[in-house]
């Protein structure tokens, strides 16, 4: 009986959490411009989302979002990994300072990060656009890469690296053959996190995108919603985003579980 009420509570809360998304998903299968007005089943919105035409600005925004996320994720993974190795080998005060600075972008609210970078770009006189957005995304993504790589370095046996050097490997060879294979899982999860954070970002992008018409998905939705009428194609788009995220999370969870089971079996 207790279990029944507990489950009831959970599912009521979930229903509340998912009702908005479900409504969007249901009404993505009808043509009506106004949400809540069912004009019969149709996949028209899905095809017009991908056929471009009048909605090409939306497609452009999606492309920008993805390309910015890919560049930011790769750049911050490289920068963050090298930095983590450096920080790991640092001692004393210097290490404290750099760790503190590394924590700031994670603790700061997005709006503060956005405004501070905006002030940087205007006071240096750089015109804002694609490059400034990418730089800003690298700035708030890299700390998460460092955070993910660091535990792997701590688990690593330091003697292996020394042994490689003693056997005549150059530091670069030792990095490629010894360190990177050991810390790869941390780099991968850092990169995935950086990619997700970049795609998800709204506030920082808004303040650093300048006014030359660069839009990412978030800023496009924002501009669109402010105009009053929401582009109907946003409904199928939100639905697709939701389903993709759902599938990704399920895959990650199933994999984690399988790994755990394999470990137990060993």
Partner 1 sequence: MKFVAKIFNKRANWAIPYAIFLALFVALPLVLILVYAFQDAEGAFSLDNFRRFVEQPEAVNTFIYSIGIALITTILCILLGYPAAWILSNRKLNRSEITVVLFILPMWINILVRTLATVALFDFAKLPLGEGALIFGMVYNFLPFMIYPIYNTLQKMDHSLIEAAEDLGATPWKVFRKVTVPLSMPGVMSGIMMVFMPTISTFAIAELLTMNNVKLFGTTIQENINNGMWNYGAALSLIMLVIIGITSLFSDGEEQNDSESLI
- Restricting to residues 102-161, name those near partner 1 by CB under 8 A: 102-113, 115-120, 122-123, 135-136, 138-139, 142, 144, 146-148
Burial class (CB in 10 A: 0-12, 13-18, 19+), 4: exposed
Phi and psi at 202, nearest 5°, equal -125, -55
CB of 116 to partner 1, least distance (A): 3
Size, binding site for partner 1 by CB under 8 A = 91
64: tokens are 């920008």
User: Of 70 and 203, which CB lies nearer to partner 1 in the complex structure?
Assistant: 203
Pick from 127, 157, 171, 255 the residue near partner 1 by CB under 8 A: 171
98 belongs to the binding site for partner 1 (CB under 8 A)? yes
CB of 187 to partner 1, least distance (A): 13
CB of 37 to partner 1, least distance (A): 10
How far are the Cα atoms of 131, 138, 218, 229, 237 from residue 221, in angstroms, in the given order? 21, 23, 5, 11, 11
What residues numbered 198-237 form the site for partner 1, per CB under 8 A?
Answer: 199-200, 202-203, 206-207, 217-218, 221-222, 225-226, 230, 234
User: Of 40 and 109, which CB lies nearer to partner 1 in the complex structure?
Assistant: 109
- Residue 8: partners with Cβ closer than 8 Å, 6 or more residues away: none
Cβ distance 85 to 161 under 8 Å?
A: no
Radius of gyration (Cα) for the chain, nearest Å?
Answer: 23
Q: Write out the H or E segment, with its range, that includes residue 30.
A: none
What residues numbered 59-88 form the site for partner 1, per CB under 8 A?
Answer: 79-80, 82-83, 85-88
User: Of 52 and 171, which CB lies nearer to partner 1 in the complex structure?
Assistant: 171
Cβ distance 98 to 191 under 8 Å?
A: no
162 belongs to the binding site for partner 1 (CB under 8 A)? no
User: Of 123 and 159, which CB lies nearer to partner 1 in the complex structure?
Assistant: 123
234: tokens are 């946003």
User: Of 47 and 253, which CB lies nearer to partner 1 in the complex structure?
Assistant: 253
How large is the angle between the packed helices 44-51 and 234-265, nearest 10 degrees? 90
Among the listed ranges 21-29, 45-53, 56-64, 66-74, the one in contact with partner 1 (CB under 8 A) is 21-29
Q: Going residue by residue from 30 to 49, which x/- string records binding to partner 1, judged by CB under 8 A? A: -----xx-------------
N- to C-terminal Cα separation, the chain: 39
Identify the bridge partners of residue 41 per DSSP, sorted by sequence position.
30
Among the listed ranges 41-49, 51-59, 66-74, 98-106, the one in contact with partner 1 (CB under 8 A) is 98-106
């Amino acid at each position: 009986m207790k279990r029944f009420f507990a489950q009831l509570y959970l599912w009521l809360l979930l229903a509340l959490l998912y009702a908005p998304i479900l409504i969007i998903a249901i009404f993505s299968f009808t043509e009506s411009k106004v949400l809540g007005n069912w004009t019969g089943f149709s996949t028209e919105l899905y095809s017009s989302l991908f056929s471009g035409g009048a909605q090409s600005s939306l497609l452009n925004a999606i492309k920008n979002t993805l390309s910015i996320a890919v560049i930011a994720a790769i750049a911050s993974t490289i920068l963050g990994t090298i930095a983590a190795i450096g920080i790991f080998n640092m001692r004393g005060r210097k290490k404290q300072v750099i760790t503190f600075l590394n924590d700031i972008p994670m603790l700061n609210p997005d709006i503060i990060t956005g405004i501070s970078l905006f002030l940087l770009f205007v006071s240096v006189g750089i015109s804002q656009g694609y490059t400034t957005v990418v730089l800003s995304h690298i700035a708030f993504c890299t700390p998460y890469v460092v955070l993910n790589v660091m535990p792997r370095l701590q688990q690593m046996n330091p003697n292996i690296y020394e042994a490689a050097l003693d056997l005549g490997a150059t530091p670069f060879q030792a990095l490629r053959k010894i360190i990177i294979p050991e810390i790869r899982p941390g780099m991968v999860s850092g990169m995935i996190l950086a990619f997700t954070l970049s795609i998800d970002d709204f506030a920082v992008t808004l303040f650093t995108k300048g006014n030359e018409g660069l839009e990412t998905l978030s800023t496009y939705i924002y501009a669109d919603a402010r105009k009053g009428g929401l582009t109907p194609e946003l409904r199928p788009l939100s639905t697709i985003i939701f389903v993709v995220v759902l599938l990704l999370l399920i895959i990650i969870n199933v994999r984690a579980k399988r790994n755990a089971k394999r470990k137990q079996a060993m």
